[in-house]
Structure 1
């Protein structure tokens, strides 16, 4: 049902994009809109992961430079039946994480230094399992396409603002053009947010299955959500279009209505995970190495540098 709903929302977003092109230029405008969308999606398919990792100053780590973090990702990827993704660290005090890449064979998991320093080892495993679920479900590519189409709709609306008033625009007129400029990006944003919320719920469920312990992720979500409102993420504030990628909305200082949030309410996500833990009963312990010393060994936040340094 979740995949069906996502497909319907994506189809609606595509139809909106094509419809705007038709209203602006008839069949020719619709064809031009299609070509633009295809070109943008093709570029995003090959380059979006590199762009976002560079945007956040992420640096790749490996078994030598960050053995504990790398081993955890490797073991959880094995649990999920996935190829080993690349592992990146972002020097950012806000606890958060995201996954990117066009497919499981070309995927990456990125975590902030703030995340590793403020959660337990179990909670970190829950977060990484969530991101691996995104990779397994091909959400990283889906959200890239969704964001690209939504951005293209905003671009077309801007074209309408500059060129729409000079002619009839297939009968919509000046008032119709103004409505198009305002409503089209809003509608695209709402559809994009609906898709993002749907995929987050599914990644929570998939991540809990990968780790075998839903409460690990539930506890991490509560910690991250609490910190995200108090610890700013400067790069995310400068690039809000990437906010949907993170496990928790990284934008702080703005109180948005639930309707306009790119993420489900944290309380709703936690409630689902708690319910899932009850149905799983005696959930198996995931295949993880013994508890190490350092910033993963206790429940309270630490100010020491992460296990890679």
Structure 2
């Protein structure tokens, strides 16, 4: 099902890309946009994960550079019966994390320095188990590729505004205004296209992988408050199309109006996790290790 959703989403993004091409260059522009979009889709499938990691200046780590963090991820991967992903750290005070990659064999997880410093080992295990669940569910292909293409759509719209639209297509000022609206909303379109049920599914899967849903529930409450009240994540504010990839929305609204939510309400997620904990007979006291 996720494969079908991926191709449907890519088709929609390609159609939008072609529409922008038409506004810029008419029928010829639409044709060029189609060819560029086809090449971009292929490139994004193989390279979008690397682009996102580079965008956030993520640094790969191992047991010699981040022993506790790496050991937690490795043990969780063993619990999940999946390959150990490449493990990265992002130097950012905002506590957050994401997963990326086209499949479990070619995946990566990234956590911010703020997340690693703030959370207990149990809470960190809950967060990284959530990210591994995204990889196991193969959500990351959709999440990563759409972020890349949405960013390209925004850049194309800004390009058209700067150089002016195609005056022969009859759109005139209407076409230019359409481009002005599409540019900031391109990211929101992607965020709406990514189903929020993916987060609930990854929460449930992460609870199973780490063994205690309350670890993730506690982590979500703490990082949601910190992400909203702390300093803005500048890289995320500059690339809002990637917001849906994080475990908690990294956009705090200081740098950009946030018209559409990319995540379910944290309170609802915590309530769902507590219900899972009750069903599992879990208490918060069991330590990681």
Per-residue Cα deviation, 1:34-73 (whole angstroms, up to 9, x for no partner): 2111222333333333333334333322233333322211
Query: 2:215 corresponds to which residue?
Result: 216
CA contact (8 A) 1:200 1:264 kept: yes
How many Å separate the matches in 1 of 2:192 and 2:132?
21
- Larger Rg, first or second structure (1 or 2): 1
How many Å separate the matches in 1 of 2:106 and 2:35?
26
How many Å separate the matches in 1 of 2:237 and 2:272?
29
How many Å separate the matches in 1 of 2:40 and 2:7?
20
How many Å separate the matches in 1 of 2:73 and 2:159?
45
Query: 1:119 corresponds to which residue?
Result: 119
Query: 2:180 corresponds to which residue?
Result: 182
How many Å separate the matches in 2 of 1:73 and 1:113?
15
| Structure 2, unaligned runs of 5 or more | none
Query: 2:189 corresponds to which residue?
Result: 191
Per-residue Cα deviation, 1:215-241 (whole angstroms, up to 9, x for no partner): 221111110011112322343344444
| Structure 1, unaligned runs of 5 or more | 293-309
Per-residue Cα deviation, 1:48-105 (whole angstroms, up to 9, x for no partner): 3333333433332223333332221112112222101121223332211111223211
How many Å separate the matches in 2 of 1:196 and 1:219?
25
CA contact (8 A) 1:160 1:177 kept: no
How many Å separate the matches in 1 of 2:47 and 2:30?
26
How many Å separate the matches in 2 of 1:34 and 1:271?
44
Query: 1:203 corresponds to which residue?
Result: 202
Query: 2:150 corresponds to which residue?
Result: 150
CA drift of 1:259 comes to: 4.7
Per-residue Cα deviation, 1:193-248 (whole angstroms, up to 9, x for no partner): 12345233332232223223222211111100111123223433444443332211
TM-score by length of 2: 0.82
Change (3 A) 1:139 1:158: same
CA contact (8 A) 2:10 2:41 kept: no
Query: 1:243 corresponds to which residue?
Result: 243
How many residues align? The count is 285
Change (3 A) 1:85 1:165: closer
What's the secondary structure of 1:82's corresponding residue? coil
How many Å separate the matches in 2 of 1:2 and 1:148?
18
Query: 1:106 corresponds to which residue?
Result: 106
Counterparts of 1:24-35 in structure 2, within 5 Å, are 25=25, 27-35=27-35
Change (3 A) 1:49 1:153: closer
TM-score by length of 1: 0.77
What's the secondary structure of 2:165's corresponding residue? helix
What's the secondary structure of 1:164's corresponding residue? coil
CA drift of 1:128 comes to: 0.3
CA contact (8 A) 1:127 1:217 kept: yes
Specify which structure has the bigger relative contact order, considering alpha-carbon pairs within 8 angstroms and separated by 6 or more residues.
Answer: 1
Change (3 A) 1:165 1:8: closer
